[in-house]
């Protein structure tokens, strides 16, 4: 129960540490017959690679994925997909210093408290590299969802004080700016802001938004398996996330019901919501409109400025963290948010298959 599995039917189990031999994931429960190749996975992993701009660490990792099982003649077989990425630039390095104290804002102290010791090389299991398995698995989920016309798009909504202008929305910019902002102007401002942070030996946070189109009404289970509840778990399970919003999120608390309720009307013979404050989910179940969620991410805790902390001997000390660290987590977390959301939706799609007798009659044809 160390918590490395996620999902009920489309179920993933990730493994690996930042400086171990490799990191990876097993995807169990992917339906048979999905066309899938290594390039489908690599495209997503490339979006989270370090070393792609001035505002990410210069640590170079090829992060080339291998698929070890579960595919035959180009299609998923219904049995587990095992995928891994070798750690190529893990250096033996000198971690004796970091081994001995607790970095503020990191999981060093809590891992020690829980397990009695920890893999102190680069954060071990609490490293951002742990998300490699999630992204690889989420790439499979995304490919599956495409078969049903479901598409996901995550992007940076804000970095520090700089927020995108929705009027300037440019989807192309998500993949082509170093900030993953869909607004080139805001992106330029955010870059300037981040460069100043780096000069100050400091770091910044931001907000990632994810929209999901094409989700049929009916996904998500009542009570604890609500679609928004699972999306929240998924988002908050990403390191450094401190808040999650669905639809209009925190803004709804100061509204009246008459303002916040989304009316229904008929459109092209379909029940349609006139507005979408709810963000596509009612009572924990998708309502057929766009699903919208936001994930709030704290500034990178690894900063070069001196900080106060304690060591394992219980002494107050002052430290200065060295090494290569992104001044912001947000841009590289965009694809993590998107793929985690894909995992939730894919699992909900499969789970919903047995929600009513009629569905089963369609399959078993009796």
Candidates 42-50, 54-62, 300-308, 331-339: pick the segment binding its own copies (CB under 8 A). 300-308
Q: Which letter, b or e, does each residue of 3-12 get, where b requires 16 or more Cβ atoms within 10 Å of its Cβ?
A: eeebbebbbb
Question: For the chain, how long is the longest CA-to-CA vector?
Answer: 72
- Least distance to its own copies from the beta carbon of 227, Å? 9
- Least distance to its own copies from the beta carbon of 88, Å? 14
Residue 337: partners with Cβ closer than 8 Å, 6 or more residues away:
154, 208, 210, 235, 238, 295
Asked whether 134 and 128 are in contact (CB, 8 A), the reply is no
For the window 21-40, what string marks contact with its own copies as x by the rule CB under 8 A?
xxxx-x-xxxxxxx------
DSSP 311: B
User: Residues 51, 271, 320, 322: which binds its own copies (CB under 8 A)?
Assistant: 271
Contacting its own copies within 93-152 (CB under 8 A): 102, 104-107, 109-111, 113-119, 124-126, 130, 144, 147-149
359 membership: H or E segment, kind and range: helix 357-364
- Least distance to its own copies from the beta carbon of 119, Å? 4
Residue 91: partners with Cβ closer than 8 Å, 6 or more residues away:
none
- Least distance to its own copies from the beta carbon of 164, Å? 13
Asked whether 340 and 138 are in contact (CB, 8 A), the reply is yes
| Cβ closest to its own copies, residue 185 vs residue 307 | 307
Q: Residue 291's closest CA among 170, 169, 151, 178?
A: 151
Number of residues that bind its own copies (CB under 8 A): 169
| Cβ closest to its own copies, residue 178 vs residue 249 | 249
- Residue 267 neighbours by CB distance under 10 Å: 10
User: Residues 166, 315, 320, 322: which binds its own copies (CB under 8 A)?
Assistant: 315
> What strand order describes the sheet that includes 11-16?
5-6, 11-16, 22-28, 81-86, 65-69
- Least distance to its own copies from the beta carbon of 335, Å? 17
> Which residues pair with residue 208 across a beta bridge?
156, 295
Q: How far is CA 63 from the centre of its chain?
A: 17
| Cβ closest to its own copies, residue 165 vs residue 176 | 165
48 binds its own copies (CB under 8 A): no
* DSSP letters for 183-206: -HHHHHHHHHHHHHHHHTT--B-E
| Cβ closest to its own copies, residue 156 vs residue 176 | 156
Asked whether 42 and 64 are in contact (CB, 8 A), the reply is yes
For the window 168-207, what string marks contact with its own copies as x by the rule CB under 8 A?
-----------------------------x--x-xxxxxx
For the window 231-270, what string marks contact with its own copies as x by the rule CB under 8 A?
xxxxxxx-x-xxxxxxxxxx-xxxxxxxxxxxxxxx--x-
Contacting its own copies within 324-363 (CB under 8 A): 349-363
- What is the rounded CA–CA span in Å between residue 33 and residue 76? 5
User: Residues 38, 43, 62, 68: which binds its own copies (CB under 8 A)?
Assistant: 68
User: Residues 153, 217, 276, 290: which binds its own copies (CB under 8 A)?
Assistant: 217
| Cβ closest to its own copies, residue 53 vs residue 309 | 309
């Amino acid at each position: 129960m160390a918590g490395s599995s996620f999902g009920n039917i489309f179920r993933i189990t990730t493994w690996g540490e930042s400086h171990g031999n490799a990191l990876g994931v097993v995807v169990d429960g992917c339906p048979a017959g999905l066309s899938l190749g290594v390039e489908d996975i690599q495209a997503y992993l490339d979006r989270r690679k370090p070393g792609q701009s001035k505002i990410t660490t210069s640590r170079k990792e090829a992060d080339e994925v291998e698929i070890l099982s579960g595919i035959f003649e180009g299609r998923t077989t219904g049995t587990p997909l095992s995928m891994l990425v070798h750690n190529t630039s893990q250096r033996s390095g000198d971690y004796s210093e970091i081994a001995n104290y607790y970095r503020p804002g990191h999981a060093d102290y809590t891992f020690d408290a829980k397990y009695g010791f920890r893999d102190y090389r680069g954060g071990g299991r609490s490293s951002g590299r742990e998300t490699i398995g999630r992204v690889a698995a989420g790439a499979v989920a995304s490919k599956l969802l495409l078969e049903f016309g479901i598409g996901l798009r995550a992007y940076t909504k804000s970095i520090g004080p700089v927020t995108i202008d929705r009027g300037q929305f440019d989807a192309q910019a998500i993949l082509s700016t170093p900030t993953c902002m869909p607004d080139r102007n805001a992106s330029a401002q955010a870059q300037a802001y981040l460069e100043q942070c780096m000069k100050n030996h400091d770091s910044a946070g931001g907000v990632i938004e994810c929209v999901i189109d094409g989700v049929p009404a009916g996904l998500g289970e009542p009570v604890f398996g609500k679609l928004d509840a699972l999306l929240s778990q998924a988002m908050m399970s990403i390191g450094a996330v401190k808040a999650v919003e669905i639809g209009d999120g925190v803004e709804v608390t100061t509204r009246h019901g008459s303002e916040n309720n989304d009316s229904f009307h008929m459109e092209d013979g379909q029940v349609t919501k006139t507005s979408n404050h709810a963000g596509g989910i009612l009572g924990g179940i998708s309502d057929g409109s766009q699903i919208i969620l936001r994930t709030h991410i704290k500034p990178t805790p690894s900063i070069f400025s001196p900080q106060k902390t304690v060591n394992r001997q219980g002494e107050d000390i002052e430290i200065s963290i060295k090494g290569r660290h992104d001044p912001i987590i947000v841009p590289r977390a965009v694809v993590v948010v998107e793929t985690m959301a894909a995992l939730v939706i894919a699992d909900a799609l499969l789970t919903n298959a047995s929600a009513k007798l009629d569905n089963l009659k369609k399959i078993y044809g009796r």
